[in-house]
Structure 1
């Protein structure tokens, strides 16, 4: 197993009911596929204790927390102080996911934008990377990220990137990262693959967004961290690299952005 190229699932949701009672097997299958780390994401802060417990119980699992934009109108507004306090935990490695989603929840765009700016402030204060969800909100997202970054630098990953090329260019110009999910492996996702191919490989991460968006050959089934292997293989082809080299590059990228997770691994 140690001879396998190692990769990290930079975004999954292990607290979702899809994985109830199966986490030991999920983590073990990931390890057998070479997926030696995963970041599980809390999308509602009231669920943070349960997500934290998963990270505490499984050595390869780290976590992040925030308020998902689709929940921003129905959850209490997070505070910067609340997010900064969570960052004290040794396995808490990112702020979010946060962002803007105008596809289903455009009516709450004002509170989404307020929530996003709060999460950005927490990322600026803690030095932890911001984890962004963006859908049908490219112009507002580019404007807010650019404006806030000019006020104070922060790291960021555009998770499950499937937005347009202009937002990708803005993100890369700001020094941010683009994360490939199973969408990039779907046969009809050539436009998404073209956007990734135009980005520097030094800014690419891989993820599952499990339990959603399983890549082929598991499309339509429940996704899990082990399947990030399939997306990473598509990424290697896209950048004209052999798989071990691409895996090593995405590991270096992850450790550069999620430096707290890298330090924790070194200390273990």
Structure 2
């Protein structure tokens, strides 16, 4: 039994039921559907899917790419969505200095802080999106200068989140060993996606091998980041089994043990999940 801890089910507009069936056939028995939609106006869609499927749970949040839409009205909508029964997390939220067209740094940081406050009020974990600045496009590096999304993110978490003692998830963990240690010290779980299997991802693999057994999760980030040997295809929750198998081999345990471990971790993090 596996749990896909991060997938964008509302992106499957034509074959959602088949995608869910494929996951069940592959032994992926629970899914966390991420509720960012195409922006705040549609961030409810994941919760609508979860309401119709007993094995699916959801989050809600405003992605940093839409941080300029974190208006009082949209933040109030988020607060209401977070109170729904099957909403178990706030996210994905965070910082992204990767694309030149993303909102400016103060706008992103203000939206992030506002959403952390909503999660604190609801006592629900946050799901973190962070694209490390060294991966940014050249024009984005020119725009954002020496600012480092990873460093800024961890500093804001330390100030506005960690004092409240609520856990969270570093979604699609893509940092290095130092980033992993700092995230773990702040109470976060590390969730590994298909990019763990990519040849150039040695830093991610180092973090995955180092992370404590009780702080790791697996995800797809579907429909993005299909793992090897399916890289280049449209990803789907059923494919989390490939990432899990790769992570198990990396950590020197069986695939069955890794599945049991990550499922237990997910349920510790989200105790309302049956």
CA distance in 2, matches of 1:259, 1:98: 21
CA distance in 1, matches of 2:185, 2:244: 23
Partner of 1:123: 119
1:84-95 correspondence to structure 2 within 5 Å: 84-95=79-90
| From 195, 206, 227, the counterpart of 1:183 | 195
Aligned residue pair count: 255
**Cα shift at 1:155:** 1.4
Partner of 1:101: 96
TM-score by length of 1: 0.90
CA distance in 2, matches of 1:13, 1:52: 11
Partner of 1:146: 158
**5+ long unaligned stretches in structure 1:** 1-5
Moved over 6 A (4+): none
Q: Does 1:113 align with 2:109?
A: yes
1:58-77 correspondence to structure 2 within 5 Å: 58-74=53-69, 76=71
Q: How big is the alpha-carbon RMSD for the aligned residues of Structure 1 and Structure 2?
A: 1.7
The 3-state SS of whatever aligns with 2:190 is strand
| From 15, 18, 37, the counterpart of 1:25 | 18
**Cα shift at 1:80:** 5.6
The 3-state SS of whatever aligns with 2:199 is coil
Say if 1:80 and 1:121, in contact at 8 Å, map to a contact too. Answer: no
CA distance in 2, matches of 1:229, 1:67: 28
Say if 1:138 and 1:164, in contact at 8 Å, map to a contact too. Answer: no
1:1-40 correspondence to structure 2 within 5 Å: 6-16=1-11, 19-40=12-33
The 3-state SS of whatever aligns with 1:67 is coil
Say if 1:7 and 1:34, in contact at 8 Å, map to a contact too. Answer: yes
Say if 1:123 and 1:155, in contact at 8 Å, map to a contact too. Answer: no
Partner of 2:138: none
The 3-state SS of whatever aligns with 1:42 is coil
CA distance in 2, matches of 1:42, 1:76: 17
Distance 1:27-1:150 versus aligned 2 partners, 3 A rule: closer
Say if 1:123 and 1:154, in contact at 8 Å, map to a contact too. Answer: no
Q: Does 1:55 align with 2:55?
A: no
Partner of 1:3: none
Say if 1:78 and 1:118, in contact at 8 Å, map to a contact too. Answer: no
| From 215, 223, 247, the counterpart of 1:203 | 215
The 3-state SS of whatever aligns with 2:203 is helix
1:111-260 correspondence to structure 2 within 5 Å: 111-135=107-131, 136=133, 137-260=149-272
**Cα shift at 1:114:** 0.7
TM-score by length of 2: 0.88
